Amino acid sequence: MSDIAPAIRECSQSAIAAVTRLHDDYVQTNRLWQELLQRGRYGLPPLIVQNAKTGTKVAGSKQWAEVARLSQLRIRIRTFKELASQVELFIAALLKLWLLRFPEIVEEKSITLAAILESNDLAELKSQAISQAVDAAILSRMMNKPSKWFSYLKQHLGATLSEDETAVFVEQKASRDVLEHHDGVVDASYLEKAGQAAKYAVGDLIEPDDQTIDGLYDLVLGLISRVAADAERKFSTTASGTPI
């Protein structure tokens, strides 16, 4: 039974590395902009950069200040969206590890005719059938609201997540969806998704700041680490033939 525990550990380490890279990129890019904008303090002339493809030229401190402002806004939004997405990616990867290890608990799903025709042997056909069933089960699960993800993880994988932290993530995920699909302008769908944790009203513009990015980083890192540790503990100690 313990053979799945190292795979869970590796999966969580990969997810944590991705989260860390996102925050590092955010901090490093902002620092580079600060250094560039402060060139005048050291008696250095402003950089002159011309895009050979478009012909656009940036030269002078005022132009660079505006370019930096827009670039930093873009990276804040991108970092926020990608950080929020890491929880979903990790949960899907964790479920795949689990369900491939215990395919008997996946609801039955018929294999496609195309897979049958393309298969060369029975073992390959069985593997494809399991893979299709697992992928379908994960897709069905992840299409639910985040609150449903966490309830499922608590019930089946022993995740010890508090109501407060999951509510905060649900709101952050709703904010992420607004940034992704509505250019940051809050609509009614945000209120529905965020529920009582909603921080914005319809028509508000969501613009993540440094504090928001840092808070989301801590939250995502904590959720991934806790779920992984709880799942690893469960599979390391459970002796029955099925984790449910």
DSSP string, 45-58: PPPEEE-TTT--EE
pLDDT band at 108 (very low <50, low <70, confident <90, very high): low
Q: What is the pLDDT of residue 1?
A: 46
Stretch 98-120: mean pLDDT: 63
Residue-wise pLDDT tens digits, 15-27 = 999 999 999 999 9
* Residue 243 placed within a domain: no
- pLDDT of residue 179 exceeding 70, the answer is yes
Burial of 151 (0-12, 13-18, 19+ CB in 10 A): middle
In a domain, 242, yes or no: no
CA distance 173 to 193: 8
Does any domain span residue 244? no
The Cα 134–Cα 137 span in angstroms is: 5
Residue 143 has pLDDT above 50, yes or no: yes
139 inside domain: yes
Whether the predicted pLDDT of 194 surpasses 60:
yes
- Average confidence score pLDDT of the chain: 86
User: Domain range spanning residue 200?
Assistant: 4-237
Q: Which three-class secondary structure state does DSSP give residue 41?
A: helix
Beta bridge partners of residue 59, listed in sequence order: 48
In sequence order, the 6+-apart residues with CB closer than 8 A to the CB of 33 are 68, 71, 72
Terminal C-alpha separation, the chain: 13
- Average pLDDT estimate for 35-50: 86
Range in 55-59, 98-102, 105-109, 182-186 with the lowest mean pLDDT: 105-109
> Is 191 in contact with 202 (CB distance < 8 Å)?
yes
Give the mean model confidence (pLDDT) for residues 133-159: 82
Please give the pLDDT value at position 174. Answer: 96
**Residues 129/133/135/140 CA torsion (nearest 10 deg):** 160
Q: What is the pLDDT of residue 118?
A: 63
Maximum average pLDDT range among 115-124, 129-138, 218-227: 218-227
Q: DSSP secondary-structure letter at 242?
A: S
Total domains in the chain come to 1
DSSP codes of every residue in 111-133 = PPHHHHHH--SHHHHHHHHHHHH
Q: Binning pLDDT at 50, 70 and 90, where does residue 122 land?
A: low
Q: Mean pLDDT across the stretch 180-204?
A: 95
**pLDDT given at position 53:** 94
Segment 67-102, tens digit of pLDDT: 999 999 999 999 999 999 999 999 999 988 887 777
Low-confidence winner among 4-8, 36-40, 105-109, 134-138 (lowest mean pLDDT): 105-109
Percent of the chain scoring above 70 in pLDDT = 84
Q: Which residue has the higher pLDDT, 34 or 237?
A: 34
